[in-house]
Amino acid sequence: MKIDDIDAFVEVIRCQSISHAAESLQLTQPAITRRVQNFEQALGVELFDRNTKPLKPTLIGTRVYEQCRLILREMDALRELVATDAPPTGLLRLGVPQTIGDVVLLDALKHLRTEYPDLRAQVATGWGSQLVGKIERGELDAAAALFPAGKIFPDNIVGESIGKMELVVVCAKSQLPKKPCKLADVYQNGWILNPDGCGFRAGLQRTLSDQGLSLRVNLETFGTELQLGLVADGLGLGLVPRPLLERSAHVEQLAVMPLKDFKPVMDLWLIYPHFLGNLQGPVDAFGKLVAASLHKIRNAA
């Protein structure tokens, strides 16, 4: 059963004439007749009463015609979906890191709505590895995620570095060492971090492990602002993006710890499947908008 045969069948009913259907589809009459016959043979039923003029469908032919119209509409939608030059419509499923979602999303979504009014954005948050998994499973169309420079992604995912994010170790001002120090000098103070799964925490743990040091977690909790409040109260060290520190309500009670052997920088990556069809434009725009938001908050800091 071929789409061309369905197309010919529908056009014959619409035109009530094989010759007019041939003219409409720019085919010969024998070609139209052959395609209709092929379709009938595939279904095992007669779709036309050939004793009538103009040509009319049988009862089952009428029912098949209605179903075929639905099929052709779905085929048109499918072609539009994969046509990169067709206006994007429907749902755009995006992912962002929990850490920076609040500061990069608002402007990006506002501009997307303006540029693509027929597209509705749906946003999920999560750690970088979770977002990669959702794209692999087809649950997201694209995501912005924080990973180290040189990150290797699965073969079916494209990764573009669109910016950099400096991380800083923070402490209460009253706990600031009088001179630059090393991780080994302060790690026993303990840390206030995101729960396990956070890329920042994993990077810190690898660095400590490489130095033969253990990760001591005093408190684990979601939310950068909550973590910074706890650090300001002297309950441990924090590891946060510098722009978020500068925007914090607790910034006056905090200090950046001058560590000589730990100056982490993460790349912000735009990740998406290899083929996005007409969603490629909105995804590219999303990446540029997120990068611009990150650049703005970095400069404001």
Determine phi and psi for 15, rounding to 5 degrees.
Answer: -90, -15
> 280 and 256 in one domain?
no
Q: Evaluate if residue 289 carries a pLDDT over 90.
A: no
pLDDT-derived band at 299, boundaries 50, 70, 90: low
Determine phi and psi for 127, rounding to 5 degrees.
Answer: -70, 160
Choose the final residue of a domain: 82, 108, 123. 82
| Domain span holding position 190 | 165-263
> 291 and 248 in one domain?
no
3-state DSSP call for residue 84?
coil
Q: What is the pLDDT of residues 4-15, one digit of tens each?
A: 999 999 999 988
Choose the final residue of a domain: 34, 52, 82. 82
Overall domain count for the chain: 3
Q: What is the pLDDT of residues 77-97, one digit of tens each?
A: 777 666 666 677 888 999 988
Contact yes or no for 104/290 (Cβ under 8 A): yes
Which structure tokens are listed for 235?
């309950």
Contact yes or no for 135/255 (Cβ under 8 A): no
Q: What is the pLDDT of residues 194-245, one digit of tens each?
A: 888 788 888 899 999 999 999 999 999 888 889 999 999 999 999 998 888 8
Cα 257 from Cα 181, distance rounded (Å)? 8
> 217 and 175 in one domain?
yes
Choose the final residue of a domain: 82, 112, 143. 82
> 213 and 190 in one domain?
yes
Counting Cα atoms < 13 Å in the Cβ hemisphere of 50 gives 6
Contact yes or no for 260/177 (Cβ under 8 A): no
Q: What is the pLDDT of residues 92-137, one digit of tens each?
A: 999 988 777 666 777 788 888 888 998 888 888 888 888 999 998 8
> 248 and 181 in one domain?
yes
> 137 and 285 in one domain?
yes
> 171 and 152 in one domain?
no
Contact yes or no for 191/204 (Cβ under 8 A): yes
> 99 and 238 in one domain?
no
Task: State residue 121's pLDDT score.
Answer: 87
Q: What is the pLDDT of residues 151-190, one digit of tens each?
A: 889 888 999 998 888 889 999 999 998 888 999 999 889 9
